[in-house]
Amino acid sequence: MSFSSIPRIGMGTFRLKGNDAREAVKSALSLGYRHIDTAQMYENEAEVGDGITSSGIPRREVFVTTKIWFDQLHASDLINSLHDSLTRLKTDHVDLTLIHWPSPDDEVPMEEYLGALRDAQREGLTEHIGVSNFTCAQMDQAVDILGQGTLLTNQVEVHPFLANRKVVEHAQSLGLTVTGYMPLAVGKVMEDETLLRIARERNVTPAHIAIAWVASRGVVPIPSSTRPSHQSANIEALDIKLSEEEIQAIDELDRGERIADPGFAPDWD
């Protein structure tokens, strides 16, 4: 089974360690998730690999994403680090490899690391390639370097308090799928009055509403959850069709509240 696009929802594994990571992946797959997202920097690729292996779901039916950390962006480092990731994940290839962050201060030229990523794809180490945390200008540059249709996604922070509209719309205009991380704003959506009201009216939770809103924008949400009940709810959220009024009310919650903003981040749009 070869995936031509990213499954509609993924299981994020940021901050999940050890047995928690292993069990969360296994549980997500048993509930119907087919997209697992990890990264070198999460230091849980081995446990994620264990979770996939022990789930009993054939590897070919699981869409696995990992990400190259910015200290591995030189061409030879990138390929070697991806080989290491595959060893930890116990697989001969991943479905998607992302550049986790653009090289801080362009220390490594984009041509170099995107070229190496493309080489990794040609070698069969990864089915698809993409980027993460890229600005509009950086996406333009990346498409100039690799050509239209080469990159599958830009994975960025998206939740009701950070709609990230400019980047989402620009990525989509370039033909990139947007993957949205932290769709629940690390739990903050559970306390928002607007989301609570809409959730009450529909007899669901604010998490359902936040994920339904992210998905309504054509963005693939990758919530992180260790509890099977929450994992299940996140999948159910995809079936919720929000009304125009509800979407408009949620749109108004955007306050540019960025949660993932390390010192080496690019100048955001």
Q: Is 42 a catalytic residue?
A: yes
Catalytic, out of 33, 42, 113, 181: 42
| Cα separation, 10 vs 171, whole angstroms | 19
* Phi then psi dihedrals of residue 157, to 5 deg: -70, 125
| Cα separation, 188 vs 159, whole angstroms | 10
* Phi then psi dihedrals of residue 237, to 5 deg: -60, -25
Q: Show Cβ contacts of residue 54 under 8 Å, excluding neighbours closer than 6 positions.
A: 22, 26
Residues classed as catalytic: 42
